[in-house]
Amino acid sequence: MVKQTIQIFARVKPTVRKQQQGIYSIDEDEKLTPSLEIILPRDLADGFVNNKRESYRFKFQRIFDQNEKQETIFENIAKPVAESVLAGYNGTIFAYGQTGSGKTFTITGGAERYSDRGIIPRTLSYIFEQLQKDSSKIYTTHISYLEIYNECGYDLLDPRHEASSLEDLPKVTVLEDPDQNIHLKNLSLHQATTEEEALNLLFLGDTNRMIAETPMNQASTRSHCIFTIHLSSKEPGSATVRQAKLHLVDLAGSERVAKTGVGGQLLTEAKYINLSLHYLEQVIIALSEKHRSHIPYRNSMMTSVLRDSLGGNCMTTMIATLSLEKRNIDESISTCRFAQRVALIKNEAVLNEEIDPRLMIIRLQKEIQELKDELAIVTGEQRTEALTEAELLQLEKRITSFLEDQHPESKLEVGADMRKIHHCFHYLKKLLNDKNIHGTSIASSEIKDQNSQEPLKEEEYKKLRDILQQRDNEINILVTMLKKEKKKAQDALHFSSMDRSELRRSQSSPFPPGNPEGPRMLPPSAPTQAPDSSTSQYRSSLLHGKTGMREEMSLGRQEAFEIFKRDHADSVTIEDNKQILKQRFSEAKALGESINEARTKIGRLKEEITQRHVQQVALGISENTPVPSTPDLLEEKLRSQLQEEKRRYKAMFTHLKALKVEIEHLQLLMDKAKVKLQKEFEAWWAEEATSLQVNSPAVNSLNHMKPFPQTPESQHERSQLLSSKSAGGWEVPDQSPRRFVSCSDLYARKILPSPGSLLHSQEQSSPSSPLEDRIPERPVSSVPLTGDSQTDSDILAFVKARQSILQRTGFQ
């Protein structure tokens, strides 16, 4: 057992504005427990006049400042936890902090660069690398991905995600067995045999999460996500299985409702997030206080799911993510306070070992056979399941003579055979029942009618008929049983030949195979088994399903989509990644060729060495001299060349493997970005359509058009224009309502003033600008207007252009 308090780390997100410096300082002098000091700005501290403190100091295991890389975070925080999971202990890493402080960035990673990948992909990579290295054990890895939103659990890997809306999917529910182990019903568990498969599952879940998100339900900030790696290991031949789970948790934003200032549905959500975080806090407080007997885990789904991670059998780590800007001071202080509480909690992690029930059955079957064999040796006869017909007849004869024997000390001897003893009892019971039914005792009738042949015959006949009936029944039962057994054997054959994945697919039982006894035998928190991950197929079908929308698009709509795509901010990322991907592909191709060359060279060197060897031996034989004991110089040279080539080959091979993972990751990033783009286009299109219906005169609709996130180049162009314009006294329109509403603005890109206003401004200010020719080319559908006062001719020109595109895109 390992007793350990929850480890707490702090990570400070890079600030956008440099003047925010001076708000905090990190004291690394205290080597063992560094501390973070948050200095309250003068205006917030009320000028030191009242009693408000001017600075707060918090201790952390380690504090990672703004420039720390994802790699460092993994090495220092996640790797030790992954190591203990590999050793058989449960582990949890959770990120806590306000929205935008970097929780998702830390846990999952950034959406743009490979180097930005977060704890989950790096941990998967590390775990699979270690599993490959260790051939002494058999490992199995499963993945589950749970989202908790408004106190409801959703399986992010549910294949039905594509077809159904979030609300229609079966909810994941928490079940508790008598031993207080938590089981999650409807949460699928997917086997991942390689890093790529596991990565696919992560992206699949993230994409599902993104798809389910609507403007009214920005799940990414309002829900909790728990990505779990279930690892089981076993030494070959041993019946002991080690089960360990690693939860990687991205909590909902910890900001308070008051600050979010929300209403309606959002308020319900905020209430739920805050409620569940409030319950988390209550659990933390209860755990950090000594002698508290009741811990209110059951108050919320999240605390129930994380029960083991908090004050239980788990090694837990918390990352407090901080966005240390002036406006976030309050939230940052409350995040740090929360962390200080968490640091007081002690967990007791134990090795999760249990006996594999399937192996136990095999072991017991073997033992039974051995005992049977021993018994056969002692009794001198082979035991079968049932008594033979001859044995039964003999036994019944003995019973009859025993019953007939009037001697008070007569005995029924059947030997130490339970089958015979049982049969005697059955037979006697049957006789007794017969006697009760017919109201006559066989024995007494025999005595009474000793001299009368007829009634005796009648009795005999009846008895025989009954026995016959009995036999018939028995035979029927046996035939039925036999049939069942035969079917079972056939099923078993079929079963073993069936593909494992198919087998799981067909299983609707909530218990894993080999666990027929249900929850009692389940490993703690074992969720439902689910289809094996032929994940890439699964992913591609999902992505196809999502992007397949285009197949049904009208030509006009497709055209609009192309334009939307071209001008979308993310297209830069997609394009960048496409370039990197291309580069990686050619690198991989070149590397593959070099590897092949190296392989050929190795083969050739080996061949040369063998030939040289044969030559030496042949020379020795022909000249009748022994083979020289000192190695031949040429052979030595060849050998060192071979070694060198092998080293090179290995290095290249490792590099190629890493490249493969990177390529896979980049492809997944791109797939995800494409789905996001498609989703945003659909939303934008739908909104345009509604605004068209509501405001039929085109002029009215102008103010309702929403811009979409646009490429940095176009932003850049415009910002240049803007700066030239503002110099001339032109006002920058208010940007806030122009944000694309359905976009979660993951990349925090700023949407600059719309080209409509720029077109206008440009005409006024610098008609000879080189951009002039390019702007009119911009599609009208992407030219939202500012609503600023414009000249009639401008409006008319715009309306004309807009109508033409609407005609082309099929709206008019």
Residue nearest ligand ADP, CB atom distance:
102
Interface characters, 210-249, with ligand ADP (x: CB under 6 A): -----------x----------------------------
Instruction: Determine if 715 is a binding residue for ligand ADP (CB under 6 A).
Output: no
The total number of residues written for the chain in this structure:
812
CA–CA separation, 701 and 694 (whole Å) = 8
Q: Which is nearer to Mg ion, 324 or 345 (CB)?
A: 324
Residues 676-715 that bind Mg ion (CB under 5 A): none
Least distance (Å) between residue 103 CB and Mg ion = 5
Interface characters, 75-114, with ligand ADP (x: CB under 6 A): ----------------------x-xxxxxxx----x----
Q: Which two tokens stand for residue 29?
A: 């002098």
Torsion on CA atoms 289, 294, 298, 301, rounded to nearest 10 = 20
DSSP string, 40-89: PPTTTTGGGTSS--SEEEEE-SEEE-TT--HHHHIIIIIHHHHHHHHTT-
Instruction: Determine if 321 is a binding residue for ligand ADP (CB under 6 A).
Output: yes
Residue 49's binding partner among Mg ion, ligand ADP, none (Cβ under 5 to 8 angstroms by kind) is: none
- Candidate segments 102-110, 427-435, 529-537, 663-671, binder of Mg ion by CB under 5 A: 102-110
Q: Which of 7, 104, 207, 809 binds Mg ion (CB under 5 A)?
A: 104
Q: Which is nearer to Mg ion, 218 or 765 (CB)?
A: 218
Q: Which is nearer to ligand ADP, 223 or 309 (CB)?
A: 223
- Strand, coil or helix: 599: helix
Residues 202-231 that bind Mg ion (CB under 5 A): 220
Instruction: Determine if 748 is a binding residue for ligand ADP (CB under 6 A).
Output: yes
In our burial notation (b when 16+ CB lie closer than 10 A, e otherwise), range 128-162 reads beebeeeeeeebebbbbbbbbbbebbbbbbbbebb
CA–CA separation, 505 and 502 (whole Å) = 5
Q: Which is nearer to Mg ion, 250 or 664 (CB)?
A: 250
Instruction: Determine if 756 is a binding residue for ligand ADP (CB under 6 A).
Output: no
Least distance (Å) between residue 784 CB and ligand ADP = 24
Residue 315 burial (C-beta neighbours within 10 Å; 0-12, 13-18, 19+): buried
Least distance (Å) between residue 288 CB and ligand ADP = 24
| DSSP β-ladder status, 240-250 and 224-234 | antiparallel
Q: Which is nearer to Mg ion, 99 or 141 (CB)?
A: 99
Contact 591, 658 (CB under 8 A): no
Torsion on CA atoms 365, 370, 371, 374, rounded to nearest 10 = 160
Least distance (Å) between residue 339 CB and ligand ADP = 15
CA–CA separation, 390 and 431 (whole Å) = 20
Say how many residues touch ligand ADP, by CB under 6 A. Answer: 16
Roughly how many angstroms between the first and final C-alpha of the chain, as a whole number? 72
Q: Which is nearer to ligand ADP, 68 or 83 (CB)?
A: 68
Q: Apex CA 118: angle with CA 113 and CA 119, to 5°?
A: 160
The 8-class DSSP code of residue 552 comes to: G
Residue 193 burial (C-beta neighbours within 10 Å; 0-12, 13-18, 19+): middle
Contact 205, 154 (CB under 8 A): no
Least distance (Å) between residue 99 CB and ligand ADP = 4
Residue 747's binding partner among ligand ADP, Mg ion, none (Cβ under 5 to 8 angstroms by kind) is: ligand ADP
Interface characters, 538-567, with ligand ADP (x: CB under 6 A): ------------------------------
| DSSP β-ladder status, 224-234 and 346-349 | unpaired
Q: Which is nearer to ligand ADP, 97 or 510 (CB)?
A: 97
Q: Which is nearer to Mg ion, 573 or 781 (CB)?
A: 573
Residue 13's binding partner among ligand ADP, Mg ion, none (Cβ under 5 to 8 angstroms by kind) is: ligand ADP
Q: Which is nearer to ligand ADP, 321 or 761 (CB)?
A: 321
Least distance (Å) between residue 199 CB and Mg ion = 19
Least distance (Å) between residue 538 CB and Mg ion = 24
CA–CA separation, 340 and 343 (whole Å) = 5
Q: Which is nearer to ligand ADP, 558 or 744 (CB)?
A: 744
Say how many residues touch Mg ion, by CB under 5 A. Answer: 3
Instruction: Determine if 323 is a binding residue for Mg ion (CB under 5 A).
Output: no
| CA atoms within a 13 Å half-sphere pointing along the CA-CB vector of 672 | 24
CA proximity to 312, closest of 289, 343, 290, 345: 345
Q: Which is nearer to ligand ADP, 222 or 679 (CB)?
A: 222
Q: Which is nearer to ligand ADP, 446 or 576 (CB)?
A: 576
Least distance (Å) between residue 748 CB and ligand ADP = 5
Instruction: Determine if 14 is a binding residue for ligand ADP (CB under 6 A).
Output: yes
Q: Which is nearer to ligand ADP, 107 or 598 (CB)?
A: 107
The 8-class DSSP code of residue 117 comes to: B
| DSSP β-ladder status, 528-529 and 62-64 | unpaired
Residues 57-96 that bind Mg ion (CB under 5 A): none
Residue 536 burial (C-beta neighbours within 10 Å; 0-12, 13-18, 19+): middle
Contact 423, 392 (CB under 8 A): yes
Least distance (Å) between residue 611 CB and ligand ADP = 58
- Candidate segments 104-112, 117-125, 326-334, 685-693, binder of Mg ion by CB under 5 A: 104-112
Residue 328's binding partner among Mg ion, ligand ADP, none (Cβ under 5 to 8 angstroms by kind) is: none
| DSSP β-ladder status, 240-250 and 173-176 | unpaired
Enumerate binding residues for ligand ADP (CB under 6 A).
13-14, 97, 99-105, 110, 221, 253, 321, 747-748
Enumerate binding residues for Mg ion (CB under 5 A).
103-104, 220
